[in-house]
Structure 1
Amino acid sequence: MFFDTSLDDPEALASIDGVLRELASWGAHVRRAYSAAAETLDGLNSDDRPRAIVAGGPDGRLFRAVLEPICPVPFVAWPHPGLPAWAGPLDLVVVMCAGGAGPEEISAVAEARRRGCSLLVAAPENSELHSAASSRDTIFLPAGSTDPTAVAVPMLIALHRLGLGPEVEAEPVAEALDDVAKRCAPSVGVDENPAKELALALAEGTPVVWGGSALAARAARRLAENLRKASGRPAIAGDDDQLVPLLADAPEVDVFADPFEDGPAPLRPVLLVLDDGAEAPLLDAARRRLEEVAESSSVRVFPIHAAEGAEIVRFATLLAMGQYVAAYLALGLGRPA
């Protein structure tokens, strides 16, 4: 059962105050992460270009999604222990761990040092990863936040200054996250709050999340994971080929069903379309296909729009909106946020 009134009830909202405050401070996390790394960033230049880049650890795919379209050298995300067999002294290994002690990240750094690779590492000072990465071939960025997306911002700035990625600035990311926090604040009512509106839409539904671009697809997977935790129900992210059969096979709505005699109605899919502003004929065609199948199956469709700006701005705002939705969904379902 979903308690609609809890979304505007001050007492109920107070029970998730800690979660909402943490979400509202995401912009501040980005500013702190940049401030902690600013001195090192100011000293970087693009004199030496590596043969290739390997992004180690679980966050490597985020860097690949941002950099791969324009990176002037081959880029590989490697979310496995160690490094690919070909990595050597001509290559740059990029590793980020906001917590400072991830086993995959430490394994990648240790292997990079053994093979003589250059390193770009972000982690807390005096952490296990900081110690493992210490060498004359390492660029170390102190992590000023425990939030991975916030720490990714100075990492992307560093890669830009090394001539390997697009231009990134911290303040536009922080301002965009501040704007999401303002629009999704608990004091904003359901009729004007996009996160509360989506939580209501998902109250009796199964989220089916699609993001067409590489960045939006990564945000979709993160959003589905958050919604599963929030609701205790399935939540699915995938490409159009994977999602179309789920929408086409949506259970029909029985308007004559009696919930007391027939039991709860089966959960129907709700399609969430993550729109990061990317434009391409294949993406447009995939979106039209999903929306047409959803319409023919009477499945509701809700777009989630990213803020305009650089790739990391769009990714972070999609992620932030999704986390607000998950927090309000958990509240309405009476589950821990």
Structure 2
Amino acid sequence: MLVASLGGSAVVCDVLELLAEPGSPVPVSVRRNVPLPGWVGPLDLVIAVSQSGRAAGPLALAAEAARRGASLLTVGASQSPLADVAAQARGVHIDIGRGRTTSRTALWSLLAPVLLAAGHLGLVDVTEQVLLDAADRLDEVAEAARPSSESFVNPAKVLAADLAEGVPVVLGDGALNGVAAGRAASMLARTARVPATFGELPDDAAQVVACFDGPYTTAYGEAAARPPSGGDIFADPYLDGPAPPRLALLMLRDAAPEPMTPEAVEAAALADAVVAAAKEVGVRVSQVLAQPGHPLVRLAGQIATTDFAATYLALGLGLDPAVSAHVADLADRTGR
């Protein structure tokens, strides 16, 4: 199986790859753009996902897969070029409807049919009940993070306030939260217009901790003597200039398995060590803990929380979460 999606839909690839890796009887490959790998042929399934049905990469991959006689499943807008390719190839097209403004808000409309199809094929452990459980988890987060909820008890508003005061670094404590971290960084950039980097433990621990020596923490240069809670109380912004931004670490952590495995104990210890090191140099640390459940259900909760936080951060900065003038300008310049 090969899955093609990019931009706001790219997380579909990441989630399917995550869930298929432990038990899929066939390889699941991810491709963002052309060329289609040479091994794809009549014995293979290609899934192409595009909210608009016009994204050049998935569209070209789907067309080439059809030419080679591969089975084709497409997900996107009806009456679109992608739907036409599926029809001509006698494939299956899942219509998500028209009028969607952005793939960022259509994530589950794009992801659910792909996971359901992969579940029926035995490639992932996802049934209709799992999807219903994921929907319930999304409802729970939506209730807790609703706009009418007071800021001091709304987890997404609290998270947005914490991230607004620094340069965000999003770190997942494992593969599942690594996918959630990538989604969070994308949402912070596209929705809140805040540049954010992300990583996954254990591989990215060193590069994140190395940043604690840099100019965005109290450990750097003369700032080493400053209190970890903030800047120098005697600093004069007119003479000394504005204080530099500080790192803000967002640690996404998975629910503890029962019983605890040695791998889980080691992962928790590493995450705790990174958090402790961050706090020692004045990094503002926020943690989002997944609630127990199926991996897809846990992932749904993490993604929903950070999606809400990115939206509240945009609103707090006085920005329209849905529309970026520069993205629209880029589309006009490139004709896409």
TM-score, normalising length from structure 2?
0.77
Q: Distance in 2 between matches of 1:171 and 1:86?
A: 36
How large is the RMSD of aligned CA atoms in angstroms? 2.3
- Give the structure 2 partner of residue 242 of structure 1: 207
Pick aligned residue for 1:116 from 54, 65, 69: 69
Contact 2:171 2:249 in 1 (8 A): yes
Between 1:284-293 and 1:234-243, the stretch displaced more is 284-293
Q: Distance in 2 between matches of 1:305 and 1:214?
A: 14
Contact 2:78 2:97 in 1 (8 A): no
Are residues 1:208 and 2:169 paired?
yes
- C-alpha change, 1:120 and 1:229, in structure 2 (3 Å) is closer
Cα distance, 1:104 vs structure 2: 1.0
By relative contact order (CA 8 Å, sep 6+), the higher-ranking structure is 1
Contact 1:55 1:61 in 2 (8 A): no
Cα distance, 1:285 vs structure 2: 4.5
SS at match of 2:164: coil
Q: Which runs of 5+ in 2 are unaligned?
A: 101-105, 219-230, 258-262, 322-336
After superposition, give the CA deviation of every residue in 1:128-169 in whole Å (9 maximum; x if it has no partner): 111101256523323258413332112101111111111233
- Give the structure 1 partner of residue 255 of structure 2: 277
Are residues 1:54 and 2:38 paired?
no
SS at match of 1:257: coil
Between 1:117-126 and 1:257-266, the stretch displaced more is 257-266
Q: Distance in 2 between matches of 1:278 and 1:214?
A: 14
Pick aligned residue for 1:85 from 24, 38, 53: 38
Contact 1:207 1:234 in 2 (8 A): yes
Q: Distance in 2 between matches of 1:283 and 1:271?
A: 17
Are residues 1:151 and 2:102 paired?
no
- C-alpha change, 1:111 and 1:229, in structure 2 (3 Å) is closer
Cα distance, 1:247 vs structure 2: 2.5
After superposition, give the CA deviation of every residue in 1:230-277 in whole Å (9 maximum; x if it has no partner): 554432212222211113434324233233443321111111011233
Q: Which amino acid aligns with 1:275?
A: R
* Within-5 A mapping of 1:139-218: 139-144=92-97, 146=100, 147-169=106-128, 170-218=131-179
Contact 2:192 2:311 in 1 (8 A): no
- C-alpha change, 1:175 and 1:288, in structure 2 (3 Å) is same
Q: Count residues with an aligned counterpart.
A: 285
- C-alpha change, 1:162 and 1:298, in structure 2 (3 Å) is same
- C-alpha change, 1:263 and 1:332, in structure 2 (3 Å) is farther
Contact 1:173 1:313 in 2 (8 A): yes
Between 1:178-187 and 1:164-173, the stretch displaced more is 164-173
TM-score, normalising length from structure 1?
0.77
Q: Distance in 2 between matches of 1:110 and 1:230?
A: 31
Q: Which runs of 5+ in 1 are unaligned?
A: 1-52
Contact 2:169 2:250 in 1 (8 A): yes
Between 1:117-126 and 1:142-151, the stretch displaced more is 142-151
Between 1:110-119 and 1:217-226, the stretch displaced more is 217-226
Q: Which amino acid aligns with 1:302?
A: S
Q: Distance in 1 between matches of 2:91 and 2:191?
A: 39
Q: Which amino acid aligns with 2:133?
A: P
Identity %: 36
Pick aligned residue for 1:224 from 185, 199, 203: 185
